[in-house]
Amino acid sequence: MNQVVPTIFDRKKIARHRERGDLTRLEKLLTWSSHELVTRLDLVKRHFDIITEVGTQGDYLYTLLKKSYAFKHYIQGDFIPRQSQKEPPYIQMDEEWLPFKGQSVDLMLGHLTWHFQNDLPGFLRQARYALKPDGLILGVMFGENTLNELSQSFFKAQQELYGGVTPMTAPMVTAYQMGDLLLRAGFALPVVEKHTLHIHYASLFDLLKDIQALGAQASLYQTNIHQRGGMISKALLLKTENMYREHFSTHDGKFNVTLDFLFVSGWAPHASQQKALPPHHAQNRLTDTL
């Protein structure tokens, strides 16, 4: 029986917001995340000829990678129109429905978009299908505690103003959940590494502007009952700012912001890969080494 995938994110709304975004506001963050991905790729002692970047943030990752990495083909794919230069080749597509043939890709990259997928397990299964044997998936996405302070501030503000709460920020997967999804999709040697950044903003307005610049605002499918036309009421915004300042500000009045990054990798199975021995087949006894 086919399992119904719940619609959590309004992908059309996210596409509109991302098209109107301004990634230059986040250049430092996107340069850092691109560098972290390339650093992890440098640790892999093999070459990849055909690379796809499924889910992009402009050309930050491509620009950095081409400086130090030789490849035959690099294809970007995203569900918004191309936002930047004419290279590399670009496919406008829905990441939830990958267009690649089976065993056609050596390396699949992702740069801070996979967290907005309704069917993350389905995406990973499709990625596994598209990768050649011993192909690699490597990406970064936001994780569980991202914008936790903002989420709690909205929660407290709604409780006081309306006596009830509806979600205002997007749910994110945990590192454990992501590792489990990689295994269920058939990936070998899965690794999920969490890296947490704590940054500070002078005001709630500045934080919300950066969220808009990334196209990540109002992403949930169900419209919040305290929003009209995608706009947060002034009363709720002011109350949220007060709650944020009261509970999550620094001694000098700045707003604490948590960003969780999940660096995700897994391999399409191949006979050459390491495999765990079956139970009771160990070559050495633990007591001999203690």
Which tens digits make up the pLDDT trace of 131-186? 999 999 999 999 999 999 999 999 999 899 888 777 777 788 999 999 999 999 99
What are residue 53's DSSP bridge partners? 76, 109
Q: How far apart are CA 67 and CA 59, in angstroms?
A: 13
223 class by beta-carbon count within 10 Å (0-12 exposed, 13-18 middle, 19+ buried)? middle
Per-residue pLDDT at 1: 45
Highest mean pLDDT among 4-13, 81-90, 138-147: 138-147
- Dihedral (C-alpha) 41, 189, 99, 7: value to the nearest 10 degrees? -110
Kindly state the percentage of the chain with pLDDT values over 90: 59
More confident residue, 133 or 285: 133
Whether 122 and 5 have beta carbons less than 8 Å apart is answered as yes
Fold of 11-147+171-217+258-269: Rossmann fold (3.40.50)
Distance CA 109, CA 92 (A): 16
Number of other CB atoms surrounding residue 35 within 10 Å: 13
pLDDT digits (tens, 9 = 90+) for 30-70: 999 999 999 999 999 888 999 999 989 989 999 999 988 88
3-state secondary structure of 8: coil
Whether 5 shows a pLDDT value over 70: the answer reads: no
Close Cβ partners of 22 (under 8 Å, ≥ 6 residues apart): 212, 213
Contact predicate 51/111, CB 8 Å = no
Cα atoms in the 13 Å half-sphere on the side-chain side of 275: 9
* pTM, full prediction: 0.87
pLDDT greater than 80 at residue 28: yes
Cα separation values, 100 from 54, 105, 129, Å: 11, 8, 9
63-90 exposure pattern, b = at least 16 Cβ within 10 A, e = fewer: ebbeeeeeeeebebbbbbeeeeeeebeb
| Residue extents of the structural domains in the chain | 11-147+171-217+258-269
| DSSP letters spanning 101-159 | PTT-EEEEEEES-GGG-S-HHHHHHHHHHHEEEEEEEEEEEE-TTTTHHHHHHHHHHHH
